[in-house]
Amino acid sequence: MKGGKMRRYLRPAIFTLLLLAVGYSLWPIFLTHIGEVKALLIALKKYCLTNPWTGYFVYTGILSTILFAGLPIAGIAMLLAGIIYGFWEAFTLVTLCRLITATVAFFVVRRLIDTHDRPKRKVPYIIRKFEHHPNVGLLLARLTPIPDSVVNYTLAASPIKHRDYVGVSLLGMIPDTLLCVWLGNQLGSISHLIRWMQ
C-alpha cells in the first residue's frame, strides 16, 4: 500500500468521524421517540432479569453493536447495565463486551490496513511520538472521554502489538466502566435514566 503513516491513521479516523456524524444525526429522532425507547428499555430490563443467561447475550449483542457502529449512546447503554444488574456483574459484563469489541475492531483495521508501511515524507511530531510509545498513547486515549469507536479504529492502525493492545485497553477501560456502572447503579431505574437523558 502506498503512502505513509499519516494516511494509515487518516483512513480509520475519517471512517470513525463518519460513523459518529451518522450517530449524532440520529439523536433528535431518538429523543422524539423517547416514550417508545423507555418502553423498550423496560422490556429489555425485564427480559434480562427473568432470563439471566440469554439476557447476558442479548445485552452484550446490543452494547457490542452500539460500540462497533460508533453510535453516541454507548454511555447510556453502559449506564443501563448498572440499572439492570448488580455492580460487579454489570462491571464484568461491560468490561468484557468493550474488550471484545476493541479486539474485533483491532483485527478489522489490521486486515484492511498495512501497518508496516514506511513513510515517504515527514510526519507530524505527535504521530512520531505516538509511534515511539504506542502503549502510553493508547492508555491516555482510553482514559480520556473519547468514544470507544474513535480509539478502536484509529489506534488499531498503530504498530502496537495485539497482546499489548488488549492489555492496555483493559487497563484504560476500567475507570470509565466503573464510573458508568456506578452511575447506573445510583440511578436505579429506567425512569431516572430517561429523565437524565432529556
Q: What are phi and psi of 53, to 5 degrees?
A: -70, -45
Answer whether 0.75 is exceeded by the pTM: yes
Contact 66, 77 (CB under 8 A): yes
Tell me how far apart the alpha carbons of residues 72 and 20 are, in angstroms, rounded to a whole number.
7
Given this model, what pLDDT does residue 2 score? 42
Given this model, what pLDDT does residue 119 score? 47
* Structure-model confidence comparison of residues 62 and 124, the more confident one: 62
The three-state secondary structure class of 179 is: helix
Given this model, what pLDDT does residue 1 score? 40
* Residue 128 confidence (pLDDT) above 70: no
Given this model, what pLDDT does residue 101 score? 93
* Continuous segment of H or E residues that includes residue 94: helix 87-112
Contact 81, 187 (CB under 8 A): no
pLDDT 10s digits, 61-85: 999 988 888 887 888 889 999 999 9
